Structure 1
Amino acid sequence: MSGAHPTLAFIGCGRITRALVQGLVGAGHPAHLLRGVSRSGAGALALSREFGITAVDGSADAVRGADIVVLAVHPHQTPEALAALSGLLGPEQTLLSLVASWRTEAVAAPLPGVPVVRAVPNVGVGVRAGATVFSAGPRTDASRLRAVEQLFAPLGETLTVAEELLETVSAVSGAGPALVAHFARSLAGAGVAQGLDERTAAVLAAHAVRSTGALLAQDAMTVDAVIDSVASPGGMTEAALRVLDADEVPAAARRAVDAAVRLSMGRLARA
């Protein structure tokens, strides 16, 4: 890679690309080393205006001289995007695929000699409090994988798993912020039903989520430890937890993750 900061080309400039650009620029990655291209051009231009990255018109301009090419398109757009990249990349570059439901072998097939890494980041990378999970694909050695992990390290937690687990990772971590936000909205709604105004209830629910995440990020703090630090025997927290268990919230969470994984696996079978 060239210099302390690699040059990145983003193929696709949607929500997760925006989060990555926000996090990288916030962490000190020079904006002029980030390029973006999008189908209509609007997404890349928006990121250029907001963060100062370079918006280009086509894949060839985006990937020329890039150390890492980030493929961040929808699954149904992937064949077209890979066709546009075919013949443009060399073995000195890394293709980082963020595409859901596409295995690295399928991504690598039209790109002979190009190392491929698959990653599942979540939107928390935008505020440098996210998690990104990696899996090494074809032609990717340990040093290449480590370089990509180091790029994402300032954006939050980085982990590596076997590729067959990435659909579950997508459901738990990628979709996780939406699932947690859904619960926060329900928690705030319960407060409003008890008489709080909407803003106060929303702030309290948001900080409950934020503070819990901060506590769980500590190595010595487990989920049970957080619960025990709040729930006194016979107290109101314990009463509330009994209701959640009686209403099968844990089982609902399992069903939600299962539904997400089944959808992704179905797409994977068709890719």
Structure 2
Amino acid sequence: MSRTVAFVGCGRITRAVVGGLVAAGDAPESLRGVSRSGARARALSEEFGIRAAASVQEAVDGADVVVLAVHPHQTPAALDALAGAPAGGGAVLVSLVASCRTKAVVAALPGTAVVRAVPNVAVAARRGVTVLSSGPGCPPGAFHTARALFAPLGEVLTVREDLMETVSALSGAGPALVAHFARALARAGAGQGLSADTAAVLAAHAVRGTGALLTEPGATPDAVMDQVASPRGMTEAALRTLDERALPQSVREALDAAVRLSLGRLLTGAEGLSARS
């Protein structure tokens, strides 16, 4: 079914979603983007063929889905612009804004069906995961529309909204954390004498292959480690060293730091939005 999707904000995650949608077969002309200066919207237009709108009004006029994808501090101004530029009856607003609860969006846009979404950048390759939660009073049909938007881009999960900050830290930041580990692994290989390029390729494929194994039905991290590690072998020695160096604790602390930062910036209602204006 054809639909028109308007993106308010054209940063990294919008680029990932747009790239995935176009790769999945969405007609570029059915996608619109608007950004503060217009530069990022034009860049997406040049890269993917979508329509770069000159204003929020132009972007959302007649849209079936409006995707709000701005930084938290830009949210009050974006919601003000959306309040003055209604997308029309039945439009669903999908908020990708970090640290912003849906009730804050609904308070600014009364009567709007709002769904919060946290996609990760792998949606660009249609191998991502998107987590959804319904806003106050969101009808089932609107939630289905949001799910249908992200379904071609990978797996879609649902959680309570009070867990979305943890989702953002684990899934949204996850690719960067895994890339950090891949870089460390590659540098360790280079330190053993491999060329930097060879070590980087080996580390990248280790991550890619492990991801494929972990997404197989019934797979678990323990099962994958058991497949690789022989008793008293080199893999077991490497895993033991990581545990001794407190890798699990470091990961827990990293996730906790990300969640605490997100909660510290949380926008939960109209008062919070006004305070950030």
Shift of 1:5: 2.7
State the match for 2:51 in structure 1.
54
Asked whether 1:28 is paired with 2:21, we answer no
Contact 2:92 2:145 in 1 (8 A): no
State the match for 1:69 in structure 2.
66
C-alpha distance in 2 between matches for 1:255 and 1:163: 22
C-alpha distance in 2 between matches for 1:195 and 1:167: 41
Taking the TM superposition and a 5 Å limit, the aligned residue runs for 1:221-232 are 221-232=219-230
Amino acid at match of 2:116: R
State the match for 2:120 in structure 1.
122
Indicate which of 14, 17, 26 corresponds to 1:17: 14
Contact 2:7 2:67 in 1 (8 A): yes
C-alpha distance in 1 between matches for 2:100 and 2:152: 26
Indicate which of 197, 203, 206 corresponds to 2:204: 206
State the match for 1:169 in structure 2.
167
Task: Return the TM-score normalized by structure 1.
Answer: 0.97
Shift of 1:91: 4.3
**SS of match in other structure, 2:265:** helix
State the match for 1:265 in structure 2.
263
Shift of 1:55: 0.1
Shift of 1:264: 0.4
C-alpha distance in 1 between matches for 2:216 and 2:65: 32
Amino acid at match of 1:230: V
Q: CA RMSD in A?
A: 1.0
Shift of 1:242: 0.3
Q: In terms of mean alpha carbon deviation, does 130-139 or 84-93 score higher?
A: 84-93
Taking the TM superposition and a 5 Å limit, the aligned residue runs for 1:235-250 are 235-250=233-248
C-alpha distance in 2 between matches for 1:75 and 1:116: 16
**SS of match in other structure, 2:266:** helix
Contact 1:122 1:131 in 2 (8 A): yes
Amino acid at match of 1:82: L
Contact 2:96 2:117 in 1 (8 A): yes
Shift of 1:245: 0.2
Asked whether 1:111 is paired with 2:109, we answer yes
Q: In terms of mean alpha carbon deviation, does 174-183 or 110-119 score higher?
A: 110-119
**SS of match in other structure, 1:206:** helix
Deviation digits for residues 134-192 of structure 1 (CA, Å, limit 9, x no counterpart): 00002311221122112211111100000000000000000000000000000000000
C-alpha distance in 1 between matches for 2:218 and 2:94: 33
State the match for 2:193 in structure 1.
195
Amino acid at match of 1:120: V
Contact 1:91 1:113 in 2 (8 A): no
Shift of 1:259: 0.2
C-alpha distance in 1 between matches for 2:236 and 2:17: 39
Contact 1:91 1:115 in 2 (8 A): no
Corresponding residue pairs, total = 268
Contact 2:69 2:97 in 1 (8 A): yes
Unaligned stretches of 5+ in structure 2?
none
Report runs of 4+ in structure 1 exceeding 4 Å deviation.
Answer: none
**SS of match in other structure, 2:93:** strand
C-alpha distance in 1 between matches for 2:45 and 2:104: 31
Unaligned stretches of 5+ in structure 1?
none
State the match for 1:96 in structure 2.
94
Contact 1:10 1:69 in 2 (8 A): yes
Shift of 1:81: 0.4
Compare relative contact order (CA 8 Å, sep 6+) and give the higher one, 1 or 2.
2
